Chain A
């Protein structure tokens, strides 16, 4: 098991270096504009540009630049500096991390609870009205684009512009340390909107998995043993959970992508909004930083999923 974990971690590291390479190629080699020109202000002297290029190391050869980039990222945890306010990308991200973490972790909780419970209930009430209604609703949730769903919920439920003034609207986010209750209420709508699509996919997957598992011979054995139906169901759920864990890792990526849109729609000062603004302003190093951070999370989630999978299914261990 330890060997397996170490192998997965090494693979993750290799993957991260490849991601750095891709980021480097996209933002530094492909013609996207000269960072030195962007930093030099209006009508710069060629001398100033040369000077900035020297400071930023842009006059070195590309392999050297890439090596410096890797060294900065992996050894010094330095993702570079914003062209606009010279702030370090790491501190920009740090500042905005709590908001994004609040949004994504909360959404993941909503999505797991809603997805799995709807899936289980649907499976147990197979072919009833409740089942059809939930699965129909799931289809709508999968199909609806997040930004559209976000705007619709604001129009319906936001306290400022909504038809039913129930929840705080866009731009009402405060930190959890500042006012926990306001933090909670301001995030209810974003959580639900961000979770909707993933929850729907999970509900459908869980339903299918559970229906299949409940038809297996070992469920018949469990009933023949005289187990209570609640415990029988637990065995079925236990058998259905493995593919869910695999999908979980993939959905983390979808969640992070969705966070960019949701933070924009609800005006939450998180990393997604930072990424959006830096794209608009061609602030390349900040974009690089956010892309790298997202990649790290997706890779980490996949490693955790792999390890979790090996832990959950004894048949795949050590292989």
Chain B
């Protein structure tokens, strides 16, 4: 990540939820930055803490009884300790958010226009008529045809893609400096997904806002992100520029995510490789490296030692938290990147297979991961 004062700087953020079964460590000490006008992609499976971290940015986990520590600096103000009314003045104004399912995220009983007007008038002292003009303008901006008429439609009268466009219009109402997009395309058809991503890119160019995009889909961040942070079990396990991560991915979990994306240029007989096992419990996470129970390359000592994010020797802005040696990782990935199986990669790197994980893969048990 480049220097300079970042628009949003998250430092050692921890979010915990006390429950009857124990404390859920949803976010376990993460740090990242979003530069003004740039895009950061946070990637991870469901339950990796990526949504909780972004909701916490807006203070939306407060009423769920979350215990938050660390700092979230937005233009120098710490959002973690900011009083609720000051935070409310930032929400939807300087930082806006869009969500995964635009049908449930819009109020079913209010006209789309009214919901947009509300967003405008929450932060601007303008008349209803003025706010309505703005609503029509916003709907036009996000590419909804005939906005002067559609402004009076109800959400159920919109298609999925139109609803997400309306959500984006609502988020843009006060020209935010930062847009947080939580799985913005997951609930949409594939063709519509591309349209929404293109729309967000266009709006970013035109309005100069920063985007924090949260997704489980590396394909989405490949399109959008300048920087990428990969999250696993409440922690960031790898982070760097999008270029560097796609060129030289370092973490076995990132490899797993990359190899589970269908690709047009891969040989036809090559199978998609799922990540075996299920995401770990966030109440009592695994010892040592949290990924070791699912990692085909884990060595016995990885169950004891907790890896820290460290920069790569030749790429100081690319960090990884992995206990494997750097040259071992590069040999493993060169074999995997060429289409090899984990077993072949292990043989190539001269490592012994981890107990359990590779056997699980060989037994062909159904994968529990949804990445």
| A223: chain B residues within 8 A (beta carbon) | 58, 60, 91
Q: Please tell me if the beta carbons of A220 and B156 are within 8 angstroms of each other in the complex.
A: no
Q: Is A222 an interface residue (CB 8 A)?
A: yes
* CB nearest to B119 among chain A residues: A225
Q: In the complex, what's the smallest C-beta–C-beta distance from A120 to chain B, in angstroms?
A: 17
Q: Is A277 an interface residue (CB 8 A)?
A: no
Q: Please tell me if the beta carbons of B156 and A227 are within 8 angstroms of each other in the complex.
A: no
Q: Is A59 an interface residue (CB 8 A)?
A: no
- Cβ < 8 Å to B, chain A residues 211-249: 216-218, 220-228, 231, 235, 238-239
Question: Could you say which of A146-154, A191-199, A309-317 contacts chain B?
Answer: A309-317
Q: Given that A220-B99, A315-B156 are known contacts, is A226 also in contact with B91, CB under 8 Å in the complex?
A: yes
| B101: chain A residues within 8 A (beta carbon) | 217
Q: Please tell me if the beta carbons of A226 and B92 are within 8 angstroms of each other in the complex.
A: yes
Measured CA separation A222–B121 after assembly (Å): 12
Q: Please tell me if the beta carbons of B60 and A226 are within 8 angstroms of each other in the complex.
A: no
Q: Please tell me if the beta carbons of A226 and B93 are within 8 angstroms of each other in the complex.
A: yes
| A312: chain B residues within 8 A (beta carbon) | 109
Q: Is B11 an interface residue (CB 8 A)?
A: no
Measured CA separation A228–B65 after assembly (Å): 19
Q: In the complex, what's the smallest C-beta–C-beta distance from A218 to chain B, in angstroms?
A: 4
* CB nearest to B62 among chain A residues: A223
Q: Chain A 78-97 against B: per-residue CB contact (8 Å), 1 yes, 0 no?
A: 00000000000000000000
Q: Is B108 an interface residue (CB 8 A)?
A: yes
Measured CA separation A238–B107 after assembly (Å): 10
Q: Please tell me if the beta carbons of B118 and A225 are within 8 angstroms of each other in the complex.
A: yes
Q: Is B170 an interface residue (CB 8 A)?
A: yes
- Cβ < 8 Å to B, chain A residues 261-319: 312-315
Q: In the complex, what's the smallest C-beta–C-beta distance from B63 to chain A, in angstroms?
A: 9
Q: Please tell me if the beta carbons of A227 and B104 are within 8 angstroms of each other in the complex.
A: no
Measured CA separation A225–B168 after assembly (Å): 12
Measured CA separation A216–B110 after assembly (Å): 15
Q: Given that A217-B99, A220-B99, A235-B110 are known contacts, is A225 also in contact with B170, CB under 8 Å in the complex?
A: yes
Residue of A218, A225, A231 near B108 (CB, 8 A) is A218
Q: Is B89 an interface residue (CB 8 A)?
A: yes
Measured CA separation A35–B201 after assembly (Å): 85
| A217: chain B residues within 8 A (beta carbon) | 99, 101, 104-105
- Interface size in chain B (residues, C-beta < 8 A): 29
Q: In the complex, what's the smallest C-beta–C-beta distance from B168 to chain A, in angstroms?
A: 12
Q: Given that A227-B118, A235-B107, A313-B109 are known contacts, is A221 also in contact with B89, CB under 8 Å in the complex?
A: no
Q: In the complex, what's the smallest C-beta–C-beta distance from A311 to chain B, in angstroms?
A: 11
Q: Is B122 an interface residue (CB 8 A)?
A: yes
Measured CA separation A216–B154 after assembly (Å): 17
Q: In the complex, what's the smallest C-beta–C-beta distance from B209 to chain A, in angstroms?
A: 16
Q: Chain A 146-165 against B: per-residue CB contact (8 Å), 1 yes, 0 no?
A: 00000000000000000000
Q: Please tell me if the beta carbons of A220 and B108 are within 8 angstroms of each other in the complex.
A: no
* CB nearest to B87 among chain A residues: A226
- Interface size in chain A (residues, C-beta < 8 A): 20
| B170: chain A residues within 8 A (beta carbon) | 221, 225
Q: Is the interface of A mostly helix, strand, loop or mixed?
A: helix
| B123: chain A residues within 8 A (beta carbon) | 226
Residue of A221, A228, A313, A314 near B106 (CB, 8 A) is A221
Q: Chain B 64-99 against A: per-residue CB contact (8 Å), 1 yes, 0 no?
A: 000000000000000000000000111111001101
| B105: chain A residues within 8 A (beta carbon) | 217-218, 220-221
Among A222, A228, A238, find the residue whose CB has the most chain B CB atoms closer than 10 A.
Answer: A222
Measured CA separation A227–B117 after assembly (Å): 11
Measured CA separation A239–B109 after assembly (Å): 7
Among B90, B106, B118, find the residue whose CB has the most chain A CB atoms closer than 10 A.
Answer: B118
Q: Please tell me if the beta carbons of B154 and A314 are within 8 angstroms of each other in the complex.
A: yes
Measured CA separation A10–B97 after assembly (Å): 48
Q: In the complex, what's the smallest C-beta–C-beta distance from B54 to chain A, in angstroms?
A: 10
Measured CA separation A227–B121 after assembly (Å): 9
- Cβ < 8 Å to A, chain B residues 104-159: 104-110, 118-119, 122-123, 154, 156
Measured CA separation A32–B264 after assembly (Å): 86
* CB nearest to A220 among chain B residues: B60
* CB nearest to A238 among chain B residues: B109
Residue of B58, B106, B119 near A218 (CB, 8 A) is B106
Q: In the complex, what's the smallest C-beta–C-beta distance from B120 to chain A, in angstroms?
A: 9
Q: Please tell me if the beta carbons of B108 and A315 are within 8 angstroms of each other in the complex.
A: yes
Measured CA separation A228–B89 after assembly (Å): 9
Q: Please tell me if the beta carbons of B156 and A226 are within 8 angstroms of each other in the complex.
A: no
Q: Please tell me if the beta carbons of B156 and A224 are within 8 angstroms of each other in the complex.
A: no
Measured CA separation A224–B57 after assembly (Å): 11
Q: In the complex, what's the smallest C-beta–C-beta distance from A211 to chain B, in angstroms?
A: 13
Among A217, A235, A239, A313, find the residue whose CB has the most chain B CB atoms closer than 10 A.
Answer: A217
Q: In the complex, what's the smallest C-beta–C-beta distance from B147 to chain A, in angstroms?
A: 19
Q: Given that A217-B101, A220-B60, A314-B156 are known contacts, is A227 also in contact with B109, CB under 8 Å in the complex?
A: no
Residue of A216, A218, A226, A227 near B90 (CB, 8 A) is A226
Measured CA separation A297–B153 after assembly (Å): 35
Q: In the complex, what's the smallest C-beta–C-beta distance from B184 to chain A, in angstroms?
A: 13
Among A216, A221, A314, find the residue whose CB has the most chain B CB atoms closer than 10 A.
Answer: A221
Q: Please tell me if the beta carbons of A221 and B118 are within 8 angstroms of each other in the complex.
A: no
* CB nearest to A218 among chain B residues: B107
Q: Please tell me if the beta carbons of A226 and B88 are within 8 angstroms of each other in the complex.
A: yes
**A interface residue numbers (CB < 8 A to B):** 216-218, 220-228, 231, 235, 238-239, 312-315
Can you report 24 A-B residue pairs in the complex whose CB atoms are below 8 A from each other? A217-B99, A218-B105, A220-B99, A221-B107, A221-B167, A223-B91, A224-B58, A224-B60, A224-B99, A225-B91, A225-B170, A225-B173, A226-B89, A226-B91, A226-B92, A235-B107, A235-B110, A238-B107, A239-B107, A239-B108, A239-B109, A312-B109, A313-B109, A314-B154
Extra inter-chain contacts (20) besides given A223-B58, A314-B109, CB under 8 Å: A217-B101, A218-B107, A220-B99, A220-B105, A221-B107, A221-B167, A221-B170, A222-B107, A223-B60, A224-B92, A225-B92, A225-B122, A226-B89, A226-B90, A226-B92, A226-B119, A238-B109, A239-B107, A239-B109, A315-B156
